[in-house]
Amino acid sequence: MTDFPSGKFQRGKVLAKTGLKVGTNYARFYAKQAGGNTTKESRKELNYKNAEDIFDNFTKLRGSVLKLAQSLSMDSGVLPQEFVEVMSRAQYRVPPMNRALVRQQIRRELGKYPEAVFSDFDEDAIAAASIGQVHRATDDLGAKLAIKIQYPNVRDTIRSDLGMARTIFSPMLQNTDVDTYIDEIRKTLMEETDYFFEGKQIKNFSKIYGNDPRVIMPKWVPHLSSERVLTMSFIEGQHLDVFLKTVPDSSSKNHFGQLLWDFIHDQIRRRIYTFHADLHPGNFLFRDDGRLGILDFGCVKKFPIDFLDTCISMLSSHIIDDEVAIKECYIATGILREEDLNSDKNSELFEFLRAFGNLIVKPYNCSRFDFGNSEYRTQFNNYMRESMQWRDIHVSRHFIFISKLLFGLYGILMQLKPTVITGQSREILIESSMQRNI
Protein backbone atom coordinates (compact mmCIF):
# COMPACT_ATOMS: atom_id res chain seq x y z
CA MET A 1 0.00 0.00 0.00
CA THR A 2 1.13 3.54 -0.64
CA ASP A 3 0.34 6.98 0.68
CA PHE A 4 -1.45 9.57 -1.45
CA PRO A 5 0.12 13.06 -1.63
CA SER A 6 -3.03 15.19 -1.54
CA GLY A 7 -1.73 18.61 -0.46
CA LYS A 8 -0.87 21.24 -3.07
CA PHE A 9 2.61 21.70 -1.60
CA GLN A 10 3.34 17.96 -1.62
CA ARG A 11 2.06 17.55 -5.16
CA GLY A 12 3.81 20.67 -6.40
CA LYS A 13 7.09 19.37 -5.01
CA VAL A 14 6.74 16.05 -6.89
CA LEU A 15 5.72 17.80 -10.10
CA ALA A 16 8.60 20.28 -9.86
CA LYS A 17 11.05 17.43 -9.32
CA THR A 18 9.61 15.59 -12.33
CA GLY A 19 9.81 18.70 -14.50
CA LEU A 20 13.42 19.31 -13.49
CA LYS A 21 14.39 15.74 -14.32
CA VAL A 22 12.66 15.80 -17.73
CA GLY A 23 14.09 19.22 -18.51
CA THR A 24 17.61 18.07 -17.63
CA ASN A 25 17.22 15.03 -19.89
CA TYR A 26 16.19 17.25 -22.79
CA ALA A 27 18.96 19.78 -22.15
CA ARG A 28 21.59 17.03 -22.32
CA PHE A 29 20.03 15.65 -25.50
CA TYR A 30 19.97 19.04 -27.25
CA ALA A 31 23.59 19.67 -26.23
CA LYS A 32 24.55 16.39 -27.92
CA GLN A 33 22.35 17.26 -30.90
CA ALA A 34 24.22 20.55 -31.37
CA GLY A 35 27.42 18.55 -31.60
CA GLY A 36 25.93 16.13 -34.11
CA ASN A 37 25.99 13.21 -31.64
CA THR A 38 22.33 12.16 -31.76
CA THR A 39 20.40 9.59 -33.81
CA LYS A 40 16.79 8.45 -34.17
CA GLU A 41 17.57 5.69 -31.70
CA SER A 42 18.94 8.12 -29.13
CA ARG A 43 15.77 10.21 -29.51
CA LYS A 44 13.69 7.11 -28.82
CA GLU A 45 15.79 6.32 -25.77
CA LEU A 46 15.22 9.87 -24.52
CA ASN A 47 11.45 9.50 -24.97
CA TYR A 48 11.40 6.18 -23.12
CA LYS A 49 13.50 7.57 -20.25
CA ASN A 50 11.28 10.63 -19.82
CA ALA A 51 8.12 8.53 -20.14
CA GLU A 52 9.35 6.16 -17.41
CA ASP A 53 10.20 9.07 -15.09
CA ILE A 54 6.81 10.71 -15.66
CA PHE A 55 4.98 7.39 -15.29
CA ASP A 56 6.66 6.61 -11.96
CA ASN A 57 5.82 9.98 -10.44
CA PHE A 58 2.38 10.49 -11.95
CA THR A 59 1.15 7.08 -10.80
CA LYS A 60 2.11 8.13 -7.27
CA LEU A 61 0.24 11.43 -7.63
CA ARG A 62 -2.71 9.95 -9.56
CA GLY A 63 -5.48 12.54 -9.96
CA SER A 64 -5.61 15.06 -12.78
CA VAL A 65 -1.97 14.73 -13.88
CA LEU A 66 -2.32 10.99 -14.43
CA LYS A 67 -5.65 11.52 -16.20
CA LEU A 68 -4.02 14.08 -18.49
CA ALA A 69 -1.18 11.70 -19.31
CA GLN A 70 -3.62 8.88 -20.04
CA SER A 71 -5.80 11.11 -22.23
CA LEU A 72 -2.90 12.52 -24.23
CA SER A 73 -1.30 9.11 -24.63
CA MET A 74 -4.49 7.68 -26.17
CA ASP A 75 -4.16 10.13 -29.07
CA SER A 76 -0.96 9.01 -30.77
CA GLY A 77 -0.79 12.21 -32.78
CA VAL A 78 -0.10 14.26 -29.65
CA LEU A 79 2.72 12.45 -27.84
CA PRO A 80 5.58 10.29 -29.13
CA GLN A 81 4.79 6.59 -29.55
CA GLU A 82 7.33 5.65 -26.88
CA PHE A 83 5.32 7.63 -24.33
CA VAL A 84 2.06 5.98 -25.44
CA GLU A 85 3.58 2.54 -24.87
CA VAL A 86 4.74 3.38 -21.34
CA MET A 87 1.56 5.17 -20.26
CA SER A 88 -0.66 2.32 -21.43
CA ARG A 89 0.42 0.54 -18.24
CA ALA A 90 -1.51 3.11 -16.22
CA GLN A 91 -4.79 1.52 -17.33
CA TYR A 92 -4.04 -1.37 -14.96
CA ARG A 93 -1.10 -0.55 -12.70
CA VAL A 94 -1.82 2.36 -10.37
CA PRO A 95 -0.84 2.01 -6.68
CA PRO A 96 -3.79 2.15 -4.24
CA MET A 97 -4.31 4.34 -1.17
CA ASN A 98 -3.38 2.88 2.18
CA ARG A 99 -6.14 1.29 4.25
CA ALA A 100 -6.31 4.03 6.88
CA LEU A 101 -6.95 6.67 4.23
CA VAL A 102 -9.66 4.50 2.65
CA ARG A 103 -11.46 4.26 6.00
CA GLN A 104 -11.17 8.02 6.54
CA GLN A 105 -12.62 8.77 3.12
CA ILE A 106 -15.66 6.55 3.69
CA ARG A 107 -16.29 8.00 7.15
CA ARG A 108 -15.96 11.54 5.80
CA GLU A 109 -18.37 10.91 2.92
CA LEU A 110 -20.90 8.42 4.36
CA GLY A 111 -20.71 9.39 8.03
CA LYS A 112 -19.51 6.00 9.31
CA TYR A 113 -16.56 3.65 8.96
CA PRO A 114 -16.99 0.91 6.33
CA GLU A 115 -17.81 -1.87 8.82
CA ALA A 116 -20.80 0.16 10.01
CA VAL A 117 -22.03 0.84 6.46
CA PHE A 118 -21.52 -2.56 4.82
CA SER A 119 -21.91 -6.09 6.16
CA ASP A 120 -18.54 -6.87 4.59
CA PHE A 121 -15.87 -4.60 3.11
CA ASP A 122 -12.57 -5.65 1.53
CA GLU A 123 -9.93 -3.09 2.46
CA ASP A 124 -7.70 -4.23 -0.42
CA ALA A 125 -8.57 -2.41 -3.66
CA ILE A 126 -9.39 -4.60 -6.67
CA ALA A 127 -8.69 -1.73 -9.10
CA ALA A 128 -7.01 1.66 -8.89
CA ALA A 129 -7.11 4.36 -11.55
CA SER A 130 -6.34 8.05 -11.94
CA ILE A 131 -9.16 9.54 -9.83
CA GLY A 132 -10.27 6.75 -7.52
CA GLN A 133 -10.04 3.09 -6.60
CA VAL A 134 -12.58 0.27 -6.28
CA HIS A 135 -13.28 -2.11 -3.38
CA ARG A 136 -15.54 -5.13 -3.01
CA ALA A 137 -18.31 -5.05 -0.41
CA THR A 138 -21.67 -6.66 0.41
CA ASP A 139 -24.83 -5.06 1.78
CA ASP A 140 -27.08 -6.33 4.58
CA LEU A 141 -29.00 -8.52 2.11
CA GLY A 142 -25.83 -10.18 0.83
CA ALA A 143 -25.76 -8.37 -2.53
CA LYS A 144 -22.28 -7.85 -3.97
CA LEU A 145 -21.24 -4.23 -4.35
CA ALA A 146 -18.40 -2.25 -5.93
CA ILE A 147 -17.37 0.85 -3.97
CA LYS A 148 -15.43 3.51 -5.86
CA ILE A 149 -13.57 5.84 -3.52
CA GLN A 150 -12.11 9.10 -4.76
CA TYR A 151 -8.59 10.09 -3.79
CA PRO A 152 -8.46 13.07 -1.37
CA ASN A 153 -8.58 16.63 -2.71
CA VAL A 154 -8.55 15.60 -6.40
CA ARG A 155 -10.97 18.37 -7.36
CA ASP A 156 -9.07 21.00 -5.38
CA THR A 157 -5.79 20.28 -7.15
CA ILE A 158 -7.02 20.01 -10.77
CA ARG A 159 -6.14 23.55 -11.90
CA SER A 160 -2.68 23.70 -10.32
CA ASP A 161 -1.84 20.11 -11.32
CA LEU A 162 -2.73 20.66 -14.97
CA GLY A 163 -0.85 23.94 -15.12
CA MET A 164 2.37 22.31 -13.94
CA ALA A 165 1.80 19.18 -16.03
CA ARG A 166 1.48 21.31 -19.17
CA THR A 167 5.00 22.64 -18.55
CA ILE A 168 6.36 19.12 -18.18
CA PHE A 169 4.74 17.88 -21.40
CA SER A 170 5.58 20.92 -23.55
CA PRO A 171 9.00 19.71 -24.81
CA MET A 172 7.55 16.46 -26.17
CA LEU A 173 4.17 17.63 -27.47
CA GLN A 174 3.53 17.13 -31.16
CA ASN A 175 0.60 19.53 -31.31
CA THR A 176 1.10 23.22 -30.47
CA ASP A 177 -2.59 23.66 -29.57
CA VAL A 178 -2.24 21.70 -26.32
CA ASP A 179 -4.37 24.25 -24.42
CA THR A 180 -7.41 22.87 -26.25
CA TYR A 181 -6.69 19.45 -24.78
CA ILE A 182 -5.96 20.75 -21.29
CA ASP A 183 -9.07 22.94 -21.13
CA GLU A 184 -11.33 20.10 -22.22
CA ILE A 185 -9.66 17.64 -19.82
CA ARG A 186 -10.08 20.16 -16.99
CA LYS A 187 -13.80 20.48 -17.78
CA THR A 188 -14.40 16.74 -17.97
CA LEU A 189 -12.32 16.11 -14.85
CA MET A 190 -14.59 18.39 -12.86
CA GLU A 191 -17.52 16.24 -14.01
CA GLU A 192 -15.66 12.98 -13.33
CA THR A 193 -14.89 14.02 -9.75
CA ASP A 194 -18.63 14.33 -9.07
CA TYR A 195 -19.69 10.74 -8.38
CA PHE A 196 -23.34 11.77 -8.18
CA PHE A 197 -23.01 12.84 -11.81
CA GLU A 198 -21.54 9.44 -12.67
CA GLY A 199 -24.32 7.68 -10.76
CA LYS A 200 -26.92 9.53 -12.83
CA GLN A 201 -25.12 8.51 -16.02
CA ILE A 202 -25.16 4.87 -14.90
CA LYS A 203 -28.90 5.22 -14.34
CA ASN A 204 -29.44 6.83 -17.76
CA PHE A 205 -27.48 4.19 -19.66
CA SER A 206 -29.16 1.41 -17.68
CA LYS A 207 -32.54 2.68 -18.86
CA ILE A 208 -31.38 2.51 -22.47
CA TYR A 209 -29.62 -0.87 -22.28
CA GLY A 210 -31.44 -2.50 -19.37
CA ASN A 211 -33.17 -5.06 -21.63
CA ASP A 212 -30.21 -5.65 -23.96
CA PRO A 213 -29.05 -9.27 -23.48
CA ARG A 214 -25.63 -8.51 -25.00
CA VAL A 215 -24.32 -6.15 -22.31
CA ILE A 216 -24.42 -5.70 -18.55
CA MET A 217 -23.88 -2.48 -16.59
CA PRO A 218 -23.74 -1.79 -12.86
CA LYS A 219 -26.72 -0.41 -10.96
CA TRP A 220 -26.25 2.75 -8.95
CA VAL A 221 -26.98 2.65 -5.18
CA PRO A 222 -27.63 6.35 -4.43
CA HIS A 223 -28.28 6.05 -0.67
CA LEU A 224 -24.75 4.66 -0.20
CA SER A 225 -23.12 7.24 -2.47
CA SER A 226 -21.84 10.80 -2.26
CA GLU A 227 -19.89 13.17 -4.50
CA ARG A 228 -16.71 11.24 -3.65
CA VAL A 229 -17.94 7.70 -2.91
CA LEU A 230 -19.87 5.76 -5.56
CA THR A 231 -21.64 2.54 -4.64
CA MET A 232 -22.95 0.26 -7.38
CA SER A 233 -23.70 -3.39 -8.01
CA PHE A 234 -20.64 -5.57 -8.61
CA ILE A 235 -20.04 -6.92 -12.12
CA GLU A 236 -17.99 -10.09 -12.51
CA GLY A 237 -15.67 -10.54 -15.48
CA GLN A 238 -12.11 -10.35 -16.80
CA HIS A 239 -10.31 -7.32 -18.16
CA LEU A 240 -8.80 -7.62 -21.63
CA ASP A 241 -5.26 -8.41 -20.45
CA VAL A 242 -6.46 -11.26 -18.21
CA PHE A 243 -8.89 -12.52 -20.85
CA LEU A 244 -6.13 -12.73 -23.47
CA LYS A 245 -3.89 -14.68 -21.08
CA THR A 246 -6.51 -17.45 -21.09
CA VAL A 247 -5.75 -17.87 -24.81
CA PRO A 248 -9.40 -17.61 -25.94
CA ASP A 249 -10.40 -19.27 -29.19
CA SER A 250 -11.33 -17.27 -32.28
CA SER A 251 -15.04 -17.76 -31.63
CA SER A 252 -14.79 -16.04 -28.22
CA LYS A 253 -12.69 -13.21 -29.59
CA ASN A 254 -15.07 -12.69 -32.50
CA HIS A 255 -18.04 -12.68 -30.13
CA PHE A 256 -16.68 -10.00 -27.81
CA GLY A 257 -15.21 -7.98 -30.66
CA GLN A 258 -18.67 -7.87 -32.21
CA LEU A 259 -20.21 -6.70 -28.94
CA LEU A 260 -17.68 -3.87 -28.62
CA TRP A 261 -18.22 -2.81 -32.24
CA ASP A 262 -22.01 -2.96 -31.95
CA PHE A 263 -22.08 -1.08 -28.62
CA ILE A 264 -20.49 2.00 -30.20
CA HIS A 265 -22.54 1.89 -33.40
CA ASP A 266 -25.74 1.32 -31.46
CA GLN A 267 -25.17 4.69 -29.77
CA ILE A 268 -24.99 6.24 -33.24
CA ARG A 269 -28.12 4.37 -34.40
CA ARG A 270 -30.12 5.55 -31.39
CA ARG A 271 -29.15 9.18 -32.15
CA ILE A 272 -29.00 10.06 -28.46
CA TYR A 273 -25.80 12.12 -29.01
CA THR A 274 -24.47 10.96 -25.65
CA PHE A 275 -21.63 8.45 -25.66
CA HIS A 276 -19.61 6.39 -23.22
CA ALA A 277 -16.44 8.23 -24.24
CA ASP A 278 -13.70 6.51 -22.24
CA LEU A 279 -12.84 3.55 -24.44
CA HIS A 280 -9.84 1.85 -22.89
CA PRO A 281 -9.43 -1.82 -21.91
CA GLY A 282 -9.89 -1.17 -18.18
CA ASN A 283 -13.52 -0.14 -18.73
CA PHE A 284 -14.76 -3.41 -20.23
CA LEU A 285 -15.22 -6.90 -18.79
CA PHE A 286 -15.28 -10.16 -20.72
CA ARG A 287 -17.73 -12.50 -18.98
CA ASP A 288 -18.26 -16.25 -18.90
CA ASP A 289 -21.96 -15.80 -19.76
CA GLY A 290 -21.00 -14.08 -23.04
CA ARG A 291 -22.14 -10.61 -22.02
CA LEU A 292 -19.87 -7.59 -22.25
CA GLY A 293 -19.52 -5.75 -18.95
CA ILE A 294 -19.35 -1.96 -19.31
CA LEU A 295 -17.83 0.09 -16.51
CA ASP A 296 -16.93 3.67 -15.57
CA PHE A 297 -19.50 6.24 -16.64
CA GLY A 298 -17.62 9.28 -15.36
CA CYS A 299 -16.50 10.29 -18.86
CA VAL A 300 -19.81 10.46 -20.74
CA LYS A 301 -19.76 12.98 -23.57
CA LYS A 302 -22.83 14.75 -24.93
CA PHE A 303 -21.90 16.08 -28.36
CA PRO A 304 -23.48 19.13 -30.01
CA ILE A 305 -25.90 17.81 -32.63
CA ASP A 306 -24.36 19.65 -35.59
CA PHE A 307 -20.83 18.58 -34.66
CA LEU A 308 -21.64 14.89 -34.26
CA ASP A 309 -23.70 14.87 -37.47
CA THR A 310 -20.75 16.39 -39.33
CA CYS A 311 -18.41 13.69 -37.97
CA ILE A 312 -20.85 10.97 -39.05
CA SER A 313 -21.06 12.55 -42.49
CA MET A 314 -17.26 12.64 -42.60
CA LEU A 315 -17.07 8.88 -42.04
CA SER A 316 -19.86 8.26 -44.54
CA SER A 317 -18.12 10.43 -47.15
CA HIS A 318 -14.93 8.44 -46.67
CA ILE A 319 -16.84 5.18 -47.01
CA ILE A 320 -18.03 6.16 -50.49
CA ASP A 321 -14.83 8.19 -51.15
CA ASP A 322 -16.72 11.34 -52.15
CA GLU A 323 -13.89 13.88 -52.45
CA VAL A 324 -16.15 16.95 -52.45
CA ALA A 325 -18.15 15.79 -49.40
CA ILE A 326 -14.97 14.80 -47.53
CA LYS A 327 -13.52 18.25 -48.11
CA GLU A 328 -16.72 19.96 -46.94
CA CYS A 329 -16.69 17.96 -43.70
CA TYR A 330 -13.08 18.83 -42.91
CA ILE A 331 -13.84 22.49 -43.54
CA ALA A 332 -16.93 22.29 -41.30
CA THR A 333 -14.88 20.84 -38.43
CA GLY A 334 -12.19 23.51 -38.83
CA ILE A 335 -9.42 21.08 -39.75
CA LEU A 336 -9.16 22.70 -43.19
CA ARG A 337 -9.74 26.35 -44.06
CA GLU A 338 -11.48 26.98 -47.37
CA GLU A 339 -9.40 30.05 -48.16
CA ASP A 340 -6.18 28.04 -47.81
CA LEU A 341 -7.18 24.97 -49.83
CA ASN A 342 -5.23 26.01 -52.92
CA SER A 343 -1.94 26.26 -51.06
CA ASP A 344 0.51 23.41 -51.54
CA LYS A 345 0.61 22.67 -47.81
CA ASN A 346 -3.16 22.37 -47.44
CA SER A 347 -3.49 20.35 -50.62
CA GLU A 348 -0.93 17.95 -49.19
CA LEU A 349 -2.78 17.88 -45.85
CA PHE A 350 -6.07 17.09 -47.55
CA GLU A 351 -4.57 14.23 -49.52
CA PHE A 352 -3.12 12.83 -46.30
CA LEU A 353 -6.44 13.16 -44.47
CA ARG A 354 -8.31 11.57 -47.34
CA ALA A 355 -5.92 8.62 -47.52
CA PHE A 356 -5.87 8.09 -43.73
CA GLY A 357 -9.63 8.45 -43.53
CA ASN A 358 -10.13 5.89 -46.26
CA LEU A 359 -7.91 3.49 -44.34
CA ILE A 360 -9.90 4.09 -41.15
CA VAL A 361 -13.19 3.24 -42.88
CA LYS A 362 -11.78 0.17 -44.61
CA PRO A 363 -13.61 -2.14 -42.14
CA TYR A 364 -16.91 -0.64 -43.32
CA ASN A 365 -16.26 -1.46 -46.95
CA CYS A 366 -16.52 -5.22 -46.54
CA SER A 367 -19.10 -7.49 -44.98
CA ARG A 368 -16.70 -8.56 -42.22
CA PHE A 369 -13.25 -7.37 -41.16
CA ASP A 370 -10.29 -9.04 -39.47
CA PHE A 371 -8.82 -6.67 -36.86
CA GLY A 372 -5.99 -9.13 -36.37
CA ASN A 373 -4.71 -8.32 -39.86
CA SER A 374 -1.07 -7.36 -39.23
CA GLU A 375 -0.77 -5.49 -42.53
CA TYR A 376 -3.71 -3.25 -41.65
CA ARG A 377 -2.30 -2.56 -38.20
CA THR A 378 1.08 -1.65 -39.68
CA GLN A 379 -0.55 0.74 -42.16
CA PHE A 380 -2.66 2.24 -39.39
CA ASN A 381 0.35 2.81 -37.12
CA ASN A 382 2.35 4.30 -39.99
CA TYR A 383 -0.40 6.84 -40.66
CA MET A 384 -0.60 7.65 -36.95
CA ARG A 385 3.13 8.35 -36.89
CA GLU A 386 2.91 10.39 -40.08
CA SER A 387 0.11 12.47 -38.57
CA MET A 388 2.61 13.83 -36.04
CA GLN A 389 4.15 16.09 -38.69
CA TRP A 390 0.95 18.18 -38.91
CA ARG A 391 1.53 20.23 -35.77
CA ASP A 392 -0.53 23.33 -36.57
CA ILE A 393 -3.96 21.77 -37.07
CA HIS A 394 -6.62 23.41 -34.90
CA VAL A 395 -9.76 21.40 -34.29
CA SER A 396 -12.87 21.61 -32.14
CA ARG A 397 -12.33 20.50 -28.55
CA HIS A 398 -15.15 18.01 -29.14
CA PHE A 399 -12.95 16.27 -31.70
CA ILE A 400 -10.77 15.02 -28.84
CA PHE A 401 -13.59 12.70 -27.77
CA ILE A 402 -14.30 11.55 -31.32
CA SER A 403 -10.64 10.52 -31.45
CA LYS A 404 -10.93 8.74 -28.10
CA LEU A 405 -14.00 6.86 -29.34
CA LEU A 406 -12.60 5.86 -32.71
CA PHE A 407 -8.98 5.17 -31.83
CA GLY A 408 -9.95 3.69 -28.47
CA LEU A 409 -12.27 1.21 -30.20
CA TYR A 410 -9.72 0.31 -32.87
CA GLY A 411 -6.97 0.00 -30.26
CA ILE A 412 -8.94 -2.52 -28.19
CA LEU A 413 -9.98 -4.49 -31.28
CA MET A 414 -6.40 -4.63 -32.56
CA GLN A 415 -5.38 -6.16 -29.24
CA LEU A 416 -8.30 -8.60 -29.20
CA LYS A 417 -7.90 -9.47 -32.93
CA PRO A 418 -11.48 -10.53 -33.75
CA THR A 419 -13.22 -10.82 -37.10
CA VAL A 420 -16.20 -8.47 -36.92
CA ILE A 421 -19.33 -8.30 -39.08
CA THR A 422 -19.28 -4.67 -40.23
CA GLY A 423 -21.82 -4.46 -43.05
CA GLN A 424 -24.71 -3.36 -40.84
CA SER A 425 -22.67 -0.56 -39.23
CA ARG A 426 -21.93 0.80 -42.71
CA GLU A 427 -25.67 1.18 -43.27
CA ILE A 428 -26.07 2.83 -39.84
CA LEU A 429 -23.52 5.52 -40.70
CA ILE A 430 -24.85 6.19 -44.20
CA GLU A 431 -28.47 6.30 -43.02
CA SER A 432 -27.58 8.64 -40.14
CA SER A 433 -25.76 10.90 -42.59
CA MET A 434 -28.73 10.94 -44.96
CA GLN A 435 -31.09 11.87 -42.12
CA ARG A 436 -28.84 14.85 -41.32
CA ASN A 437 -29.02 16.08 -44.89
CA ILE A 438 -32.81 15.81 -45.21
Q: Which CATH architecture has domain 99-150+194-233?
A: 2-Layer Sandwich (3.30)
Terminus-to-terminus CA distance in the chain, angstroms?
58
Under DSSP, the state recorded for 171 is G
pLDDT for the residue numbered 412: 93
pLDDT for the residue numbered 76: 47
pLDDT in tens, 20-47: 666 666 667 666 666 666 677 776 777 7
Lowest mean pLDDT among 58-72, 144-158, 236-250, 349-363: 58-72
pLDDT surpassing 60 at residue 204? yes
What is d(CA 267, CA 273) in angstroms, rounded to the nearest whole number? Answer: 7
What is d(CA 117, CA 113) in angstroms, rounded to the nearest whole number? Answer: 7
What is d(CA 75, CA 403) in angstroms, rounded to the nearest whole number? Answer: 7
Mean pLDDT of 244-265: 96
Strand, coil or helix: 383: helix
Lowest mean pLDDT among 1-15, 18-32, 333-347: 1-15
Length of the chain: 438
pLDDT surpassing 50 at residue 228? yes
pLDDT surpassing 90 at residue 273? no
SS3 content of the chain, % helix, strand, coil (to 5): 60, 10, 30
pLDDT for the residue numbered 91: 54
For residue 1, what pLDDT band results from cuts at 50, 70 and 90? very low
Lowest mean pLDDT among 84-93, 315-324, 327-336: 84-93
Domains of the chain, by residue range, sit at 8-92+156-171, 99-150+194-233, 237-438
Q: Find which of 72-86, 102-116, 146-160 is predicted with most confidence, using mean pLDDT.
A: 102-116
pLDDT surpassing 70 at residue 92? no
For residue 247, what pLDDT band results from cuts at 50, 70 and 90? very high
What is d(CA 268, CA 360) in angstroms, rounded to the nearest whole number? Answer: 17
pLDDT for the residue numbered 438: 47
Q: What is the mean pLDDT of the chain?
A: 82
pLDDT in tens, 399-420: 777 887 888 899 899 999 999 9
Mean pLDDT of 44-70: 70
pLDDT surpassing 90 at residue 225? yes
Mean pLDDT of 107-133: 91
Strand, coil or helix: 177: coil
Lowest mean pLDDT among 144-148, 165-169, 286-290, 342-346: 165-169
Identify which has the larger pLDDT, 70 or 258.
Answer: 258
Identify which has the larger pLDDT, 339 or 20.
Answer: 339
pLDDT surpassing 70 at residue 8? no
Q: What percent of the chain has pLDDT over 70?
A: 74
